[in-house]
Chain A
C-alpha cells in the first residue's frame, strides 16, 4: 500500500526516471547494434576465423565482469583520457560492452550459418560479395540479429539500474536512495518499473522480430 501511495505521489519524478532509463538504453543499444552488427559481419568474413574466436572470447569475458567492477574500471580509464568519468558517458560505454555479446554472437552465427548452397548460387549468378551480403546473408540473418538485440536490451535494462552508482540517471535512483534510507516503497517502486520496462521491451522487440522476419522464412 505504501508503494502505491509513493507511486501516486511521485508520478512525474518516476516518469522522468523512466525516460532517463529508456534514453540510456536507447542510446547504448543503438550504438551496440551498430557496432555489434558491423563487427559481426567483419569477423564472419572468410579467413577471419581466428579473429572471430578472439573477439567472441573477449565479448564473453566482458559478460562475466560484474557490472559494479566494470564501472569501477571505466572511471580511471576515462579520466586518464580526459573524458567525463561519471554520469551518462561511462554508463553508455558499459551498456554497449554488455550488449555486445548477444548481438555480436548472433550476427556472426547467423551469417556463418547461411546455407552455402545459397551463397554458391548467388556467386554463380554473378552477384558481387557485397550484393551477396546485402541481398542474401543480411536478410536471412535479420531475425537472429533481432533476437540478439532483444536479449541485449533486456539484460541492459537491468544493468542500467546499477549505472546510478557512477552518477547516471534512471530507475536505479529510487532503488539506491531507498537502500540508503531504508525506504522499502522506493526500492519496490524502482524494481516494479524496471520489470515492467523489461517485459514491455521484450514484448515489443518480439513483435519487431516477427515483423522483420522475411515472409518466406515464417512458418
Chain B
C-alpha cells in the first residue's frame, strides 16, 4: 500500500508544486493522478520513488516511511515508466527490459526468460523483437517496451507517467485494453499519471484530481462523474460525462462487489428473510463456491414455498463479463429486459452485481448535477 500524508513540495525557486496532499492506494489497485498541465502530477509521483525530495509530510510504502529506505533499493522495488519513455538506444530491447533484473544480479538466463515473458505479455513476438534496437521500433512498440521494462523485475508497485501518451488514439486504446487485461492478472499497485479524463475513467480504480498542487477530489471514476465535488471537477470531466461513463467504464468499476448470494439447497423461508433484510426482491444463486447458476425472485418464492432454492430459482447464466463496458452491459440489460445483471469472470465465477438502478443513478446524476447519491464502488 502507498500512503501519502500531508505531502507538500516547494521547489527551491519557491514554486508550490504540491500542497498538503493526502491519499492512499490500496494493494492491487490502480490510482490515476489526473489534472491540467502543471498541476503537480509528475512531482507527486516522483516523490514516491524519491526522485524529487519531499518538502514536508510523509510517504509510506507498506507502512514504512520511504525516506527510511535506501533510495536505490526503493526504486528497484518500484517499476518506473517515464513520460518520455527513455529507452537506452545502445541496448537491445532485451537488454533494456533486463535493466533492473541485472541491477538485482539475476542470471542472464533468468533475465532473458523474463524479457521474453514480458514481450509476450505486451503482444510483441520475442523472437522478432528481443534483439532489435529502439531505433528500429515504432512509437507504439517503444512505449510497450518502456512499460515492459518497468515491469522487468516484477515489482509490486508501478509508477507510470503518461505511459501511453506518445501514441495515436487507436493504438493507445488498444494498449489501454491490453494493459487492463494484464493488470487484472498481475494486480500491481499502480500510480498512473495522465491529463486525459477518458484515460483516467477507463484505467482508474480511483482518480485523484489535482489542481494547482491541491487534491480536489479522490474517488472512483463513477463517483467523479456522478458526483463532481465542485465546478472545477464538473468542468474538467466535461459535459458528455454520461456517454463517457458508459462507453469507457468497465462494469467492475460500477458494480457492487461481493453481492449477497444464495445456494441451491438453501431454505426458501431463509432466503425470503434475507431478501426482507436487504430490501431486495432479487438474489443471485451460485454453486461450487462462486459459480453463477441463476437467480431467484421474491414472487417465485411465495409460489414454491416451502422448499429449497432449486424449486423456485431461474437457471440463467446471462451475465456481463469483467472487462466489458457499461454501454455493453446496458445493451444486454435492455435486450433481455432485466434490471439486474451479474458480473462474472471468464470462468463464470461471480465478481459482482450491476443493477439498472445504479446505472440510472450514474446517468441521472450527471444530468441533474445535484450531487447526492451515487453507486458504491
Instruction: Decide whether A and B assemble into one complex.
Output: yes
Q: Which A residues fall within an 8 A CB radius of B?
A: 115, 117-118, 120-128, 131, 135-136, 139-140, 214-217, 219
With A125-B99, A126-B76 as given contacts, are A117 and B89 in contact (CB-CB < 8 Å)? no
The 0/1 profile, CB within 8 Å of A marked 1, for residues 144-155 of chain B is 000001101000
CB pair B103–A215 under 8 Å, yes or no, is no
Which 7 A-B residue pairs are closest in the complex by CB-CB distance? A121-B86, A216-B133, A214-B90, A126-B75, A124-B80, A117-B84, A126-B76
Residues from chain A with a CB closer than 8 A to the CB of B51 are 120, 123-124
Interface residues of B in 91-128 (CB under 8 A from A): 91-92, 99-100, 103
- What are 11 A-B contacts defined by CB distance under 8 Å? A115-B84, A118-B87, A118-B88, A121-B80, A125-B75, A125-B99, A125-B100, A126-B103, A214-B91, A215-B92, A217-B89
How far in angstroms is the closest Cβ of chain B from A139? 5
Residues from chain B with a CB closer than 8 A to the CB of A215 are 90, 92, 133
CB pair A126–B90 under 8 Å, yes or no, is no
Residues from chain B with a CB closer than 8 A to the CB of A127 are 72, 99, 103
CB pair A140–B75 under 8 Å, yes or no, is no
CB pair B134–A216 under 8 Å, yes or no, is yes
How far in angstroms is the closest Cβ of chain A from B160? 11
Residues from chain A with a CB closer than 8 A to the CB of B84 are 115, 117, 120
Residues from chain A with a CB closer than 8 A to the CB of B85 are 117, 121
Give CA–CA (A115, B90) in the complex, Å: 12
CB pair B135–A121 under 8 Å, yes or no, is no
CB pair B91–A126 under 8 Å, yes or no, is no
Checking A122, A126, A217 against B74 with a beta-carbon cut-off of 8 angstroms, the contacting residue is A126
Give CA–CA (A125, B86) in the complex, Å: 11
**Apart from A117-B82, A124-B51, A216-B92, what are 7 other A-B pairs with CB-CB below 8 Å?**
A117-B84, A125-B75, A125-B150, A126-B75, A128-B72, A135-B88, A215-B90
CB pair B100–A136 under 8 Å, yes or no, is no
Residue of B with least CB distance to A118: B86
Checking A115, A125, A136, A217 against B103 with a beta-carbon cut-off of 8 angstroms, the contacting residue is A125
- Give the bracket for the number of chain B residues in contact with chain A: 20 to 34
The 0/1 profile, CB within 8 Å of A marked 1, for residues 130-143 of chain B is 00011100000000
CB pair A123–B75 under 8 Å, yes or no, is yes
CB pair B74–A216 under 8 Å, yes or no, is no
Residues from chain B with a CB closer than 8 A to the CB of A136 are 88
B178 close to chain A: CB less than 8 A? no
B194 close to chain A: CB less than 8 A? no
Checking A117, A126, A128, A217 against B86 with a beta-carbon cut-off of 8 angstroms, the contacting residue is A117
Residue of A with least CB distance to B92: A216
Give CA–CA (A136, B89) in the complex, Å: 9
Residue of B with least CB distance to A142: B90
Residues from chain B with a CB closer than 8 A to the CB of A139 are 90
Checking B73, B89, B100 against A140 with a beta-carbon cut-off of 8 angstroms, the contacting residue is B89
CB pair A124–B49 under 8 Å, yes or no, is yes
Residue of A with least CB distance to B49: A124
Checking A117, A120, A125, A219 against B76 with a beta-carbon cut-off of 8 angstroms, the contacting residue is A125
Residue of B with least CB distance to A121: B86
Checking B71, B91, B103 against A131 with a beta-carbon cut-off of 8 angstroms, the contacting residue is B103
Residues from chain B with a CB closer than 8 A to the CB of A123 are 51, 75
Interface residues of B in 147-169 (CB under 8 A from A): 149-150, 152, 159
CB pair A219–B135 under 8 Å, yes or no, is yes
CB pair A140–B103 under 8 Å, yes or no, is no
CB pair A126–B82 under 8 Å, yes or no, is no
How far in angstroms is the closest Cβ of chain A from B344? 38
How far in angstroms is the closest Cβ of chain A from B310? 56
